Amino acid sequence: MSFNPAEEIEKLRKEIEHHNHLYYDLDDPVLSDTQYDQLYQKLKDLEARYPQFAAADSPTQKVGGKASTAFSPVVHRTPMMSLDNSYNAEDVRAWHERCAKMLSCPVFDMVLEAKIDGVSCSLTYTDGVLTTAASRGDGKTGEDITANVLTVKDIPHRIANAPAGILEIRGEIYLEKKDLAQLNEKQAAANQIIFANTRNAAAGSLRQKDPSVTMRRPLKFFAHSFGFGRINAGGFGDFIDDCRKWGFAVSPVRLRTSSIEEIIQFYQDFNDKRRTLPFDTDGLVIKVNSFDQQRILGNTAKSPRWAIAFKYPAEQATTTVKNVLFSVGRSGVITPVAQVEPVSCAGVVISNATLHNFDEIKRLGLRVGDKIILERAGEVIPKVVKVVQHLGQADIQPPVSCPACGRPVYKAEGEVGYYCVNPACPAQIKGRILHYASRAAMDIDGMGDAVVNELVNRRFVSNFADLYNLNFFHLLSLENFKEKKSQNLLDGLEASKKRPLSRLLFALGIAFVGAKTAEVLADHFHTLDALMNASIDELQTVPDVGTAVSQSVYDFFHDPAAKEQIELLRATGLNFTQPQKQMSSRILEGKTIVFTGEIEGMTRTQAEQLARQHGAKTSGSVSAKTTFVVAAKAAGGKLKKAQSLGVKIISAEEFFKMIQ
DNA sequence: CCGCCTCGAGTTCT
DNA sequence: CTCGAGGCGG
């Protein structure tokens, strides 16, 4: 194909605009400055050679083009170094020991502060007047961001009683969590970029070409380092006190001690507290206090030896997508799952992350081989946040055939999901059996993932009733099964026959019938036969049962295959009735309770059962209708929601006292 | 008909 | 835990 300058120019413009966007709006450049400059230069050359294709909206013509840098370089008087990181007590003790050795002194003062997640910035005051503000850049040379920094309200433009000449104060410019939420609301309303975190928002705000935009961002500053100048302080603690006198905010979390164990204790206690603070912190910073001792310890090529960051494990991590697989759930839904290069995130090693559906893949623009950021949503479920760098070639296509049974895949009109509609699909059978045996359903001890897998693969089991026809010899032939395990599983199966109707209903896996609806239905009809014979109208008289649920239940029990299954289960002696609810008291009648966190001595399900026995309603989510929330150890998002809604919060002890 | 409140379903790792 | 959607009250 011949060279087409118009096309080539257009392609370069698009590419450069994309990188401008990454750099200015997202503060997340993918290209190095050199790589960017090469692209930019290439476009400039082409535009010069083919002036007929010049355009006013080309990035080369715009003031904001990155190369025509709005922020001129500033060489730092002393380098702005980064800190060495540590993530555990051992590393911190080792650091302390190394310092002690180099200082020939086992006990020395240290200062601890919060490590606030923001953008570091160096402020130069000349005879007390703020003259230059610079970003860190590569540590040696930063960018001049004075115009933007002048709009930060926390930063004094003039300081009284400052030492004569040059004084350089360094610190962090950051955004509070609540301000990020507000900013993002505004951004969304204006159809602008949503910032992923406070750090990105702060950085993006400082990169604005127009300082009036920066001014509208509620940026804050706190001082944390000494850069240059003649000061009286002999130690870091005194210097920070001076900063306060000069009108700077400083870390709200501070500790001065000579005990490394006290610091480690503080680190552990602070982990819970830091989430309630108004700003994001990813850890603490430990510094040797005395400036003289700092001088003795000196620096490595990268960082000072007299300071170390004591970080908490990152909640986000960067890794690579190795492959995308498709899992088939018990209902036949096909879910894409990303297999990633194992990476440590929020304390665990992640190797899989759900992608939910194909819209999500499209939204992310994800390809196999891409570099991605993932996080544990609510510190639990790994989730792909975004693609950092496109390294993959081909787009990910939805599967044409089911990965488990090979039958063609269907996509319902207007729905996001793809389905395998083969009821005999082994993946669906496994899913259904696993659900049947699960804790909240029939609670069959000894029936986990591996056992179900083998039972289905070996064709011992293809439906619920088959489970009860398993004998000792079937089980003995399973991998790692001897007498003991086999007997345990048989006992587990036998015990499951006595479960109340509500659990059986849930276990059957009727669409729209979860644990809650199953219980409502069982309590209303008392026997499976009464439920099976109920008309759609009768079903709808039950609270919380509407058209969708009633239709689904009716259809399920009028399907010949399901009917046969029920009769087979009846023949094994399964319990088809719901016991009358026994009430311990009615003390909690009319109250709606939500449990959160780990309650000592019982599971959350047990606690909920207890509450219901005393007449309460229980729910899994907090709303204005919630009477109170029982918050135990390690309470999560529900506690937060309760606080924001002003819902009463009580402790587990208070709850137990109520029902005594 | 809209908006709030819930529930259901799928997902990860120890 | 999050997303999507059913149930229901206003």
Digit-coded pLDDT (tens) for A33-80? 556 766 777 887 788 788 787 776 777 765 444 433 467 888 888 888
**What's the rounded Cα separation, in Å, for the pair A142 and A157?**
20
pLDDT at residue A413, rounded to an integer: 59
Could you tell me if A26 and A204 are in contact, meaning their C-beta atoms sit under 8 angstroms apart?
A: yes
The average pLDDT across A310-327 equals: 80
> Among A538, A499, A543, which residue's Cα sits nearest to residue A520?
A543
pLDDT at residue A577, rounded to an integer: 93
Q: Which is more confident, A109 or A272?
A: A109
Sheet with A166-174, edge to edge strand ranges: A129-135, A119-126, A166-174, A220-228
In which element (H, E) is residue A644 found?
Answer: helix A637-645
Q: Which tokens sit at A65?
A: 């083009």
Q: Which tokens sit at A406?
A: 């090979």
Q: How confident is the model at residue A419 (pLDDT cuts 50, 70, 90)?
A: confident
User: What's the one-letter identity of residue A111?
Assistant: V
The average pLDDT across A403-415 equals: 76
Look-up of token digits 């535009």: A47
The average pLDDT across A129-135 equals: 91
Digit-coded pLDDT (tens) for A577-629? 998 877 777 788 778 888 877 777 677 777 887 888 888 888 877 888 888 88
Phi, psi of A519 (to 5 degrees): -70, -40
pTM, entire model: 0.58
Helices (H), A308-377: 358-364
**What's the rounded Cα separation, in Å, for the pair A422 and A403?**
12
**What's the rounded Cα separation, in Å, for the pair A145 and A149?**
6
Q: Does the CB of A637 sit below 7 A from strand B? A: no
Sequence-distant (≥ 6) Cβ neighbours of residue A139 within 8 angstroms = A76, A79, A80, A81, A82
Q: Which tokens sit at A8?
A: 């080539």
pLDDT at residue A565, rounded to an integer: 92
Give A425 CA → B3 C1' in Å.
40
Which residues face A120 on adjacent strands?
A172
Q: Does the CB of A644 sit below 7 A from strand B? A: no
What are the structural domains, with CATH classification, of chain A?
A: 5-61 (1.10.287.610), 85-311 (3.30.470.30), 316-419 (2.40.50.140), 426-571 (1.10.150.20), 592-659 (3.40.50.10190)
Q: Which nucleotides of C are covered by protein (CB under 7 A)?
A: 1-8
pLDDT surpassing 80 at residue A293: yes
The average pLDDT across A373-383 equals: 71
Q: Does the CB of A319 sit below 7 A from strand B? A: no
A115 flagged as catalytic: yes
The average pLDDT across A254-277 equals: 85
Q: Which residue is nearest to nucleotide C3 (CA to C1')?
A: A356
> Among A65, A67, A45, A49, which residue's Cα sits nearest to residue A57?
A65
**What's the rounded Cα separation, in Å, for the pair A45 and A65?**
16
Question: Which nucleotide shows the minimum CA-to-C1' distance to residue A513?
Answer: B8
Give SS3 for A506.
helix
Q: How confident is the model at residue A243 (pLDDT cuts 50, 70, 90)?
A: very high
Q: How confident is the model at residue A653 (pLDDT cuts 50, 70, 90)?
A: confident
The average pLDDT across A509-532 equals: 91
Q: What is the mean pLDDT of chain A?
A: 83
Strongest mean pLDDT among A71-80, A144-153, A298-307: A144-153
pLDDT cut 70: percent of chain A above it: 91
Phi, psi of A337 (to 5 degrees): -130, 130
Phi, psi of A511 (to 5 degrees): -55, 140
Q: Which is more confident, A9 or A499?
A: A499
Following CA atoms A11, A13, A14, A15 in sequence, which dihedral angle do they give, to the nearest 10 degrees? 80
In chain A the first and final C-alpha atoms are separated, in Å, by 84
pLDDT cut 90: percent of chain A above it: 21
Digit-coded pLDDT (tens) for A85-97? 776 777 788 888 8
Q: What is the torsional sign of CA A83, A88, A89, A95?
A: negative
Could you tell me if A382 and A353 are in contact, meaning their C-beta atoms sit under 8 angstroms apart?
A: yes
